[in-house]
Amino acid sequence: MTAEYQAHGAVAVITLTNPPVNGMNFQTRTAAVECINRALDDASIKAIVITGAGNAFSGGADIKEFNSPKALAEPSLHTLIDVVENSSKPVVAAIHHVCMGGGLELSLGCHYRVATPGTQIALPEVKLGLLPGAGGTQRLPRVVGLELALKMITSGAPELSEKLANTALFDEILTGDCVAGAIAFAEKIADLRPLPKVRNLNVTHPQLQEVLNAARAQAQRGFLKAPLHCVEAIAAAANLPFDEGIQFERQTFYKLVVSPESTALRHAFFAERAASKIPDVPADTPIRSIKSAAVVGAGTMGGGIAMNFANAGIPVVILETKPEALEKGLAIIAKNYQNTRDKGKLSPEKCAERIALISGTLDYNAIGQADIVVEAVFEEMNVKKSVFEKLDEVMRQGAILASNTSTLDLNKIASFTKRPQDVVGMHFFSPANVMKLLEIVRGKETSNEVLASAMALSKKLKKVGVVSGVCDGFIGNRMLEQYIRQAGFLLDEGCLPAQVDSAMEKMGFAMGPFRMSDLAGNDISYAIRKRRAIEKPDMLYSKTADQLCELGRFGQKTGAGWYDYQAGDRTAHPSDLVNQLINDHSKQIGIERRAITDQEITERLIYALVNEAAYILEEGIAHRASDIDMVYLSGYGFPLHLGGPMLYADTVGLAKVVAAIQHYAQGHCGKVWKVAPLLQELAAKEQKFNA
């Protein structure tokens, strides 16, 4: 049973009881229908209240059921809603905390709805590449109006109940206890007839078609297809009789649920949840409480990291070596907050509160009592060594010592302390106060407790935490190196930066590789290549990137990189000089430039990611293929509708990926392609990365 029945005088209260958010799975639907029939059969009952146990009315459908026959098993959500709507006794939805998706659709089938203030109301299906399939697109516009319904359904974003108080969605916003208020309301309306039904209302608007057309245009802007389907279903609500609209909605839902887009978005949804579970770290591992933090280094990353703590309400002290660097860092933080405030995204009070949580020091003794310290100093082992030796000396026992290194060996960094079990990598991405991804790097001696605590902290900081083992570049940057390398070879062979970028952007990447390098700064990878040249002198890569840096073209920050930039403008303009440099380089290395298709560009770049990822999986650097997808979706602008590189490769078919790699291995610098054994093996067995 996942619903409970209780009679309060002449009112039956049916409580959905499927924790954590009363998801409408098969058992819950069955129990709810049974409870309604029981109320209908009991002559002493005059009205019915439906509510949810705990902190939700209902969070909606059970997504885990989508791929199982149980999703369609009767009673379906449609049937439950029909039973409610056709009930001869009035049904009141008592809505509190969370009312989303199928939960909201159920409440729309009720004759009345009362809610407590602060309740989150949403139809978020579009975020999973779907539309609300149980009447939501037909009933919501009938109660909140066309424009608000379009906004809510195409964005999936929640609205607060009190903001919807003046719509026909709610009959009453309650002031006290939700169920008591609903019972009182039910007693009041128990004898009123006919019973009001949302289906009997009409969607009207003085500029109906104009509003719909504007919504269509808006929905077609991105790469996702579901928003346009949502608009068409809402148009059906406006233009067709109710039952035909419901039919249209249902057919569209069945189409979308098997679409690659919805498969990708649902994959991402589950991948994010899976990433927080570490296979060999028990779920009940104790978590260290983090109430205060310190950051060493007030540069680009240190400042952003400190803002993360302040945004989560955790006081943070930043340590620097020189007063000028500290002042500069603190001033940048204050300016960032000010900008957010000026844009109206942060109230003046919140802005002041957050700035007040951040302080600076030049003295290690001032940070010794912090629960966690994150080091973000120069990327040089000697500097890291001096910092970690000092941290070992001053930090209280039990403090977590984290490093934000992007390429250095975390095990070596841990060895500078007498407590390597307390050392962990926390690899933030730039800008650290904005980017969602946080790679949590597990050293060979990092304790389970420290790892679990770092994961818990990532959630508190609203990041997507993904665990990575120790290797050069960890998961994300190690893969990126192969991607960038192929992008360089494409220049040698016949492409120009704008062609490569445009091919990737047409596919849905936030930015192609060259625009991305210009944004990040070409000097960063230049420095890494110089270091690598000593370690691996025979490494193959296109020398165009070095030639670019020798001209001082470091990217946006110098006003010139792969592209030209005008002062104060981030628009990338193709550069004749760079294009000449690329053509000259091809000549120097004796390559006759050829026309290259977008298909070759996208395959070479994405398969370079996939092949390296297969090594990463095989070596146990990443726990699961979906973790790698999460890294790329949340940190590298990989198109959401493709679900990440691994799901994309699975969708293409691994045998095809292997064949393409083998083909490219015959081309220019083809020896850099070596099919990863795991990829080869899965392809041979016709299996997938994401089983």
Q: Which residue matches tokens 């109940």? A: 161
What are the DSSP E strand ranges found in 274-403? 293-296, 316-319, 358-361, 372-375, 400-403
Neighbours of 120 (CB within 10 A): 18
Mapped onto helix, strand or coil, the DSSP state of residue 494 is coil
Residues numbered 427 to 446 that lie near ligand NAI (CB under 6 A) are 427-430
Q: Which residue matches tokens 């250095």? A: 408
Question: Which of 4, 379, 392, 449 touches ligand NAI by CB under 6 A?
Answer: 379
Strand 172-173 to strand 573-574: parallel, antiparallel, or no bridges (unpaired)?
A: unpaired
Q: What does the block give as tokens for 408?
A: 């250095």
Question: Which of 14, 186, 377, 649 touches ligand NAI by CB under 6 A?
Answer: 377
Residues 682, 522: Cα–Cα separation, whole Å: 36
User: Which of the stretches 117-125, 176-184, 264-272, 372-380 binds ligand NAI when contact is defined by CB under 6 A?
Assistant: 372-380
Query: Bridge partners of 418?
Result: none
- Nearer Cβ to ligand NAI (434/589): 434
Phi, psi at 619, each rounded to 5°: -80, -5
Question: Which of 7, 86, 273, 378 touches ligand NAI by CB under 6 A?
Answer: 378
Would residue 380 show up in a list of annotated catalytic residues for this protein? no
Chain centroid to Cα 565, Å, comes to 31
Question: Does the protein bind ligand NAI through residue 254 (CB under 6 A)?
Answer: no
Question: Which of 103, 297, 513, 555 touches ligand NAI by CB under 6 A?
Answer: 297
Question: Does the protein bind ligand NAI through residue 383 (CB under 6 A)?
Answer: yes
User: Which of the stretches 136-144, 275-283, 299-307, 507-515 binds ligand NAI when contact is defined by CB under 6 A?
Assistant: 299-307
Phi, psi at 99, each rounded to 5°: -140, 100
User: Which of the stretches 150-158, 246-254, 399-407, 549-557 binds ligand NAI when contact is defined by CB under 6 A?
Assistant: 399-407
Question: Does the protein bind ligand NAI through residue 331 (CB under 6 A)?
Answer: no
Residue 320 beta carbon to ligand NAI: minimum distance, rounded to whole angstroms: 5
User: Which of the stretches 8-16, 136-144, 422-430, 532-540 binds ligand NAI when contact is defined by CB under 6 A?
Assistant: 422-430
Give CB contacts under 8 A, 24+ apart, made by 524-531: 525/484, 526/554, 528/407
User: Which of the stretches 188-196, 426-434, 608-616, 672-680 binds ligand NAI when contact is defined by CB under 6 A?
Assistant: 426-434
- Nearer Cβ to ligand NAI (224/374): 374
Residues 185, 13: Cα–Cα separation, whole Å: 12
Question: Which of 141, 302, 465, 488 touches ligand NAI by CB under 6 A?
Answer: 302
Nearest Cα residue to 391 out of 366, 417, 413, 415:
417
Question: Does the protein bind ligand NAI through residue 270 (CB under 6 A)?
Answer: no
Question: Which of 298, 307, 516, 617 touches ligand NAI by CB under 6 A?
Answer: 298
Nearest Cα residue to 20 out of 51, 47, 58:
58
Question: Does the protein bind ligand NAI through residue 299 (CB under 6 A)?
Answer: yes
Is the C-alpha dihedral spanning 6, 7, 12, 13 positive or negative?
Answer: negative
Determine the Cα angle at 191 with ends 186 and 196, to 5°: 75
- CA distances for 377 relative to 296, 302, 320, 396, angstroms: 6, 8, 9, 21
Residue 13 beta carbon to ligand NAI: minimum distance, rounded to whole angstroms: 53
Residue 413 beta carbon to ligand NAI: minimum distance, rounded to whole angstroms: 10
Question: Does the protein bind ligand NAI through residue 366 (CB under 6 A)?
Answer: no
Residue 365 beta carbon to ligand NAI: minimum distance, rounded to whole angstroms: 14
- Nearer Cβ to ligand NAI (240/332): 332
Maximal CA-CA distance, the chain = 93
Question: Does the protein bind ligand NAI through residue 145 (CB under 6 A)?
Answer: no
- Nearer Cβ to ligand NAI (185/428): 428
Phi, psi at 160, each rounded to 5°: -85, 145
Residues 156, 150: Cα–Cα separation, whole Å: 10
Question: Which of 18, 138, 154, 404 touches ligand NAI by CB under 6 A?
Answer: 404
Count of positions (residues) in the chain:
691
Catalytic position from the list 125, 249, 375, 493: 125
Question: Does the protein bind ligand NAI through residue 406 (CB under 6 A)?
Answer: yes
Residue 543 beta carbon to ligand NAI: minimum distance, rounded to whole angstroms: 24
User: Which of the stretches 298-306, 491-499, 558-566, 624-632 binds ligand NAI when contact is defined by CB under 6 A?
Assistant: 298-306
Would residue 125 show up in a list of annotated catalytic residues for this protein? yes
Question: Which of 100, 294, 296, 676 touches ligand NAI by CB under 6 A?
Answer: 296
Question: Which of 28, 58, 161, 405 touches ligand NAI by CB under 6 A?
Answer: 405
Nearest Cα residue to 611 out of 678, 670, 525, 665:
678
- Nearer Cβ to ligand NAI (240/383): 383
- Give yes or no for a contact between 102 and 77, defined as CB atoms under 8 angstroms apart: yes
Cβ neighbors of 415 (< 8 A, separation 6 or more) are: none
- Nearer Cβ to ligand NAI (296/683): 296
Residue 404 beta carbon to ligand NAI: minimum distance, rounded to whole angstroms: 4
Cβ neighbors of 160 (< 8 A, separation 6 or more) are: 117, 118, 119, 120, 121
- Nearer Cβ to ligand NAI (112/429): 429
- Nearer Cβ to ligand NAI (18/477): 477
- Give yes or no for a contact between 336 and 328, defined as CB atoms under 8 angstroms apart: no
- Nearer Cβ to ligand NAI (160/381): 381
Number of residues near ligand NAI (by CB under 6 A): 25
User: Which of the stretches 174-182, 370-378, 624-632, 659-667 binds ligand NAI when contact is defined by CB under 6 A?
Assistant: 370-378
Residues 572, 277: Cα–Cα separation, whole Å: 41
* Minimal CB distance residue for ligand NAI: 299
- Nearer Cβ to ligand NAI (1/381): 381
- CA distances for 262 relative to 76, 219, 220, 231, 690, angstroms: 20, 16, 16, 17, 16
- Nearer Cβ to ligand NAI (404/544): 404
Question: Does the protein bind ligand NAI through residue 238 (CB under 6 A)?
Answer: no
- Give yes or no for a contact between 259 and 650, defined as CB atoms under 8 angstroms apart: no
Catalytic position from the list 105, 493, 603, 612: 105
Question: Which of 301, 314, 450, 669 touches ligand NAI by CB under 6 A?
Answer: 301
Per-position DSSP letters for 29-60, written without gaps between them = HHHHHHHHHHHHH-TT--EEEEEESTT-SB--
- Give yes or no for a contact between 375 and 345, defined as CB atoms under 8 angstroms apart: no
Nearest Cα residue to 307 out of 462, 503, 493:
462
Residues numbered 309 to 328 that lie near ligand NAI (CB under 6 A) are 319-321, 325
Question: Does the protein bind ligand NAI through residue 468 (CB under 6 A)?
Answer: no
Chain centroid to Cα 164, Å, comes to 27
Residues labelled as active-site residues = 105, 125
Residues that bind ligand NAI (CB under 6 A): 296-302, 319-321, 325, 376-379, 383, 386-387, 404-406, 427-430
